[in-house]
Amino acid sequence: MRAAWPAFMASCGVLVKRSDWKESCTIARQVNADSDKAIRLFFETFFVPNQVVAADGANTGLVTGYYEPLLHGARKRGGPYQTPLYKVPDDLVSVDLSGVYPELKNMRLRGKLVGKKVIPYATRADIERATSVTGKELLWVDDEVEAFFLQVQGSGRVQLTDTQETVRVAYADQNGHPYKSIGRYLVDKGELTLSQASAQGIKAWIAGHPTRKDELFNANPSYVFFKEERLPDPKVGPKGALGVPLTPQRSVAIDSRYVPLGAPVFLSTTQANSDIPMQRLVMAQDTGGAIRGPIRVDYFFGFGAEAAENAGRMKQSGAVWVLLPKQAPAR
């Protein structure tokens, strides 16, 4: 429980401003952060666990993993650094419709303004060919495959050889097209089996089929744009959708239409590519384009080679309980 407490207090930094969380988050400040017993008593006293069940009655769903990758790059194009990471284009329009249509909370309309109409923004394939993003290069990296997977992860770090610094590239916006799994594309094409469609398996397939790389990447029309952030403390994770830094192995991405962003979540699943049980308290602090459905969890493994290895192989079944303050009605 102690390992989950810093992540919970990070959530409370945002949730304390809401009436249904104010009491529990205020009391949490007085809890002894070094005492498993005190932390457990706090959650048992002030929260009610609610198991998440899908509309069809299913009580288990897919648990995957993600991590913060490290890429190698430069501020100026040259040598091996030929793949750009782009900033948000000037012509990308993002509209929050929840003020007019409350049922569309957490949904944004993204597109391009042509005359008085908003039309769909360019797909991945169109962006790669377009000149509209010319001049919006944020950084240049040396690996097109790793740049693609950086977009899947949503954020990462880039070690810059020309300035000898390491910076964080964080999610800034997205082109509005739905995320499509390239692993699923390869399975549907009969190129890989479901068990082979891990990040490692996909990268191995690309290495063996270099002429089909663009075909594969363009099967996912979604495209992510980045912004640069300083990296004052390498131990601190990237910020998730809640706006707080993610905690390795204690933060998860969820679909906020079903699970409240910021809430404690008890996750019952198994370790990556194994039958070894993994049951722990985590915090719903992020969202993702591929994370859709009531019982759909993306587990944040952190930064580094081990995190990348585990995240790439994480494709488990799991059950989820959301802990809500007792005075708040369960959804």
| Stated pTM of the model | 0.87
For residue 86, list its beta bridge partners.
137
| Among 64, 29, 311, residue whose Cα is nearest residue 179 | 64
The two structure tokens encoding residue 134: 């010319």
Q: How many CB atoms lie within 10 A of CB 102?
A: 8
pLDDT beneath 70: ranges in the chain: 98-107, 328-331
pLDDT at 140: 96
State in Å, rounded, how far the first CA of the chain is from the last one: 25
Within 13 Å of residue 242, how many CA atoms lie on the same side as its CB? 31
Q: What are the pLDDT digits (tens) for 159-179?
A: 999 888 999 999 999 999 999
Residue 193 exposed, middle or buried by CB count within 10 Å (0-12, 13-18, 19+):
exposed
What does the pLDDT read at residue 322? 98
Rounded-to-integer distance, Cα 290 and Cα 282, Å:
19
The residue whose two tokens read 């979604």 is: 222
Indicate the helix (H) or strand (E) that contains 317.
strand 315-325
Identify any residues that bridge with 78 across adjacent strands, giving them in sequence order: 81
Q: Over the Cα atoms of the chain, what is R_g?
A: 21
Residue 120: closest CA among 174, 172, 180, 177: 177
Report residue 60 as tokens: 């288990």
What's the pLDDT at 101?
66
Q: Are 222 and 177 in contact (CB under 8 A)?
A: yes
Reported as a single tens digit per residue, the pLDDT across 180-212 is 999 999 999 999 999 899 999 999 999 999 999
Q: How many whole angstroms separate alpha carbon 12 and alpha carbon 8?
A: 6
Is residue 321 within 8 A of residue 45, CB to CB? The reply is: no
Q: How far apart are alpha carbons 229 and 206 in whole angstroms?
A: 30
